[in-house]
Chain A
């Protein structure tokens, strides 16, 4: 049986419609052999976590350019904790000021990828840091 592919949810919380980055990352991860689910725009923290649970993903990539990360990310992290999804690797990208990064890392976002990041860096990061669920499932 084939090894289970890394499953990634690319999610867009926040009200902004800037999906260029999210779509490029989704496509690049798919081209790198991962299974990618993209939520579409303007998803609430509740919707994102519900989809992550239902799709049994290993990674959640949050893309936000609206400035609402300090409010929305903690809610997502709390909901993940509530559902016991401790193994899911959560990463984020977008327009995020440097001064917010320590706080976001403290609440459990593993890495923040800023503008100028190559898709290869993201692929490498995921491969290195993902805690894959039961293989051969």
Chain B
């Protein structure tokens, strides 16, 4: 971006500054730390100048918004035309409780829905399973069958609202339930839109809500790609997620690298199935974490966009520019929230949300201040939503595209993170891909080591957390929290019993046996799952049928 001659002049002047102005200053006032690092432990220099960007080629590395390689944003106008979607992840108690919360959030200006299911649903077991005891409605909403899903979206027009569902191992089943609800509302699957997370690889890496072994799990995911491309064309059939990888302790670069490499793995498996890249790639979406270290996060988002575009265009020869887009959702970092002085969490969330916006996110969830204690209260989630609205409408940060583009620091950091992530990707390629790397325990070990390093850094006060290892309060104040008691379980179990009594039992049996046969014959399972959910087969029954064919995954234990 600068001529050789200009750079030479800057170099000389910088040396003069270092030996003169700067070194005189630190004699009087030394720097606060010997080494400055990001929250990921990445070293940060005292000053960035054009010298750091001497290899940066504006047109090749940055380009223009809406054009390859999309470093500055996937849309030509970014937030000047349309703000990001404000999408608060939400779900608790019974379907009735959550339906009420959704209607409240929509009335407050939220622009999309995001479903949090309770753990038994995430694990593909019904509320009447012994392992569900104590878990019903606690971490999300209880959904056992289509009957629950009908209540969950009662009075919410599925042709007008887009819905994201955080569901992975049993994603195909919950998606089928959503399609069935839409049909009951008279809405064609061809026009419904939303996202299923459906990213099983990061379950083995980080979140650990897996059911089947990697092979059959990948098969189910590719089934949804194939079915979606034909039957539900506006649906994002996967949200390739770095969020949980980061929460489990990964550094920003590890989050970036493992997520992108997971993306490559899905594309490879889909191509192996015989799918045409441009038929499914435009429906791949991503999900990243926004952590505390402001500039590192912004650089991560920008690097991710650029890397994915390059991979899709050069590695997979995708022709449709939409296949090159890395569209992503962001959630602010759950682990960064602190139980101590919880109101400080509002500030943390604000900084993280700002990074996501400056990084060009397509949708955003802001965490609530009380989430180290429980699912958010209505008051807390309102503040979280208001945080996004203040950033959108008052701060002015959405007025221009990629406002930090061209910052010497941001551009250098973007280049460096990209380079470090490519190294990881190369390593995993050499291991034979992500499934192989997971089986070898490689990414899991990297994440564990980073988590332990960070914990030590906090304990030695190399990293300061306000209110936790410094600036502690003498007395912690208690905040009001949402409390879910066991009455939810009682209601849920009653409904499940009712559903099992009312349905056509012979039809359910037939659907389940057809499903098993299709699994044995390695057919696309989506049509069979859809038929089963419409007959009110429960989630647990469908998953149990598949367990008979696919078995269950047992994780190797390491720490």
Contact = CB atoms under 8 A, between A and B. Distances in A.
* A and B are partners in one complex rather than unrelated chains: yes
Interface of A: 14-20, 22-24, 26-28, 36, 38-42, 44, 66-72, 95, 97-99, 114-116, 118-120
B522 to A, nearest CB: 28
B555 A68 contact: no
Which of A14, A17, A42, A69 has the most C-beta atoms of chain B within 10 angstroms of its own C-beta? A17
A66 B139 contact: yes
A69 B207 CA distance: 20
A15 B483 contact: no
Nearest to B489: A71
Given A27-B559, A66-B139, A15 B448 contact: no
B493 interface: no
Nearest to A73: B134
Interface string B120-138: 1011000000111111001
Interface residues of B, number: 43
Given A116-B340, A118-B458, A14 B135 contact: yes
Contact of B373 (A24, A40, A98, A118): A98
B135 A67 contact: yes
Q: Which 5 A-B pairs have the closest CB atoms?
A: A17-B208, A71-B134, A68-B134, A67-B138, A15-B119
Contact of A20 (B338, B451, B555): B451
Given A17-B203, A42-B131, A114-B339, 14 more contacts: A14-B135, A16-B139, A20-B248, A24-B451, A27-B448, A39-B557, A42-B123, A66-B138, A67-B138, A67-B484, A71-B134, A97-B374, A115-B372, A116-B339
Contacts of B468: 116
B484 A40 contact: no
Contacts of A71: 133-134, 486
Given A68-B135, A115-B339, A116-B340, A17 B207 contact: yes
Given A72-B134, A98-B478, A23 B448 contact: yes
Contacts of A18: 208
B226 interface: no
Contacts of B469: 118
Contacts of A20: 247-249, 335, 451
Given A23-B448, A98-B373, A15 B135 contact: yes
A41 to B, nearest CB: 6
B59 to A, nearest CB: 42
B23 interface: no
Contacts of B247: 20
Given A14-B135, A27-B559, A68-B138, A119 B481 contact: no
A95 B373 contact: yes
13 contacts: A17-B208, A20-B249, A23-B448, A23-B451, A24-B451, A27-B448, A42-B131, A44-B131, A67-B484, A115-B338, A115-B339, A116-B468, A119-B455
B119 A40 contact: no
Contacts of A116: 338-340, 465, 468
B458 A95 contact: no
Nearest to B341: A116
Interface in B325-365: 335, 338-340
B257 to A, nearest CB: 19
A2 B230 CA distance: 68
B452 interface: yes
B373 A97 contact: yes
B209 interface: yes
B559 A15 contact: no
Interface string B231-255: 0000000000000000111000000
A39 to B, nearest CB: 8
Interface in B426-479: 448, 451-452, 455, 458-459, 465, 468-469, 478
A14 B139 CA distance: 11
Contacts of B131: 15, 42, 44
A26 B131 CA distance: 24
A15 B120 contact: yes
